[in-house]
Amino acid sequence: MKDFHTKKIKEIKLWAWAATVLPIATLGVLFLLYLIGFNSIYEKLLVIGGAILFTTSVVWWWWTLHTIGSVTFLLSRTIEKFTKVNQELEELKKDIKDL
């Protein structure tokens, strides 16, 4: 369970970095190309940049869904274990009362 937590924290940090740096860097490069005036290169990079941003957003979306599913599964197992502990405590209370 600790490995899961550590792995997800690293992935979250990576995605947070990518979500911050990639769009800003892409827009910066495209803006500079627009100022320089390389229209044909600009148009090609605009398509490439858009494709990269789209691909990143799709991959991020699937990663997010997978992570939410993993956390939900982990929480459901935790609830089951707490229910079992609660039942055992109730049995223990009953046994103590009977003594």
pLDDT per residue over 17-68, tens digit each? Answer: 877 777 777 777 777 777 776 677 777 777 778 778 888 888 888 888 888 8
Domains in the chain, number: 1
Report the pLDDT value the prediction gives residue 92, as an integer from 0 to 100: 92
Rg (CA), the chain: 25
Alpha-helical regions (H) of 1-99: 2-36, 39-98
pLDDT at 88 over 90: yes
Domain of 30, in residue numbers:
2-98
